[in-house]
Amino acid sequence: MLAAIPYPPTEKTVDTTGQWVMALGTSAALAVALVLTISFAVRRREAWPIVILISAAFCSLMEAIYDNSFNLWFYTGPDFFTGYSGMGIHVPWWVPVTYVWVYGAQAVWLAHRIESGATRRDVSLYSVALWVVFTGFEMVGTNVGTYDYFGEHPYRVAGFPIWVSVANTGIVVVAAVAVTKLRHLLPGFRIWALLVLMPGAFGLATFAPSFMTIEVISHENPNTALMWISATGSMVLGATLCYLACLFVPQERPGVQPARSEGIEELVPDALALRTGG
């Protein structure tokens, strides 16, 4: 006999005002991101920023897979802003819009910062800022009546399970670091191979750290202790993934020599020089 699973709130309709808030807000953010990113690409005469934006839009087709795994449900109804549907999930059109600016444009900006001399500490601090942005964005979305994470979830703050934001942060960090390492190996038309990058980063950063929590919350009445332990572990794994990605980023800015400690290997030659009068 199959175990009972949490049932989405299919009877609830989308809040019209909340839907406009999300649609207009994400569209405005997209407009700014497109202007800045395309201007950057034209100024540098490089195609990779455009490829990453398109890759992020392509990645938005994974939203239904994410929703089914994390028990996310978009409210529908007569006034629903139809986008596409998959796996029983109806995704509004403003979600793909969000992917382009929140994943694609952010990855381009962070990749540029890394290539401009950002250190591991800089990327770590930016990761924290990303977590705040993702958490704040989803708190708005879940509280204006457009969607919800249904069923049992640990670490709920204002109705939103903040543990999922760690995985979302990893998408941008992994993609940005990968861009800095790969784009120089893909001259000319081969740069379009980066179209697979955002879906790849999404799959790695979202599902790899979260698989154990996804399995626990897939039950209608999951064990509370196990749910909290698994979510804590998922956040640790998500942070570890960001840490591993940051290892490819220089620890110091170019041209800055790290402070040297005077260890035994420095003291021994000095002592020998004193004894020989050197």
pLDDT tens readout for residues 63-72:
999 999 999 9
Q: What is the pLDDT of residue 78?
A: 94
pLDDT tens readout for residues 87-135:
999 999 999 999 999 999 999 999 999 999 999 999 999 999 999 999 9
pLDDT band at 33, cuts 50/70/90?
very high
Is residue 260 pLDDT above 80, yes or no? no
Which two tokens mark 98? 């969000």
Instruction: Output b/e per residue, 163-202; b: 16+ Cβ within 10 A.
Output: bbbbbbbbbbbbbbbbbbeebeeeeeeebeebbebbbbbb
Residue type, 33: A
- Domain boundaries along the sequence of the chain: 16-276
Instruction: Output b/e per residue, 1-13; b: 16+ Cβ within 10 A.
Output: eeeeebebeeeee
- % the chain with pLDDT above 70: 90
Is residue 263 pLDDT above 50, yes or no? no
Q: Indicate the DSSP class of residue 119.
A: -
pLDDT band at 275, cuts 50/70/90?
very low
Mean pLDDT value across the chain: 91
pTM of the predicted structure, to 2 decimals? 0.88
Q: What is the pLDDT of residue 4?
A: 85
pLDDT tens readout for residues 193-217:
999 999 999 999 999 999 999 999 9
Mean pLDDT of the 6-24 span = 97
Residue 153 CA: distances (Å) to CA of 70, 161, 228: 9, 6, 8
What does the alpha-carbon distance between residue 7 and residue 161 come to, in Å, rounded to a whole number? 17
What does the alpha-carbon distance between residue 246 and residue 248 come to, in Å, rounded to a whole number? 5
Give which of 2, 13, 7 is closest to 151, Cα–Cα: 7
Is residue 257 pLDDT above 90, yes or no? no
Q: What is the pLDDT of residue 253?
A: 81
Q: What is the pLDDT of residue 252?
A: 87
Is residue 270 pLDDT above 70, yes or no? no
Beta strands 82-86; 89-92: pairing state: antiparallel
What does the alpha-carbon distance between residue 55 and residue 57 come to, in Å, rounded to a whole number? 5
Is residue 228 pLDDT above 90, yes or no? yes
CB atoms within 10 A of CB 240: 13
Mean pLDDT of the 241-252 span = 94
CB 48, CB 191: distance < 8 Å: yes
Helix (H, G, I), strand (E, B) or coil at 156: strand
Question: What 3 state SS string does 117-165 have?
Answer: CCCHHHHHHHHHHHHHHHHHHHHHHHHCCCEEECCCCCCEECCEECCHH
Q: What is the pLDDT of residue 265?
A: 44
What does the alpha-carbon distance between residue 97 and residue 178 come to, in Å, rounded to a whole number? 23
Q: Indicate the DSSP class of residue 177.
A: H
Is residue 271 pLDDT above 70, yes or no? no
Is residue 273 pLDDT above 50, yes or no? no
Mean pLDDT of the 262-267 span = 42
Q: Which segments of 93-162 are extended strands (E)?
A: 147-149, 156-157, 160-161
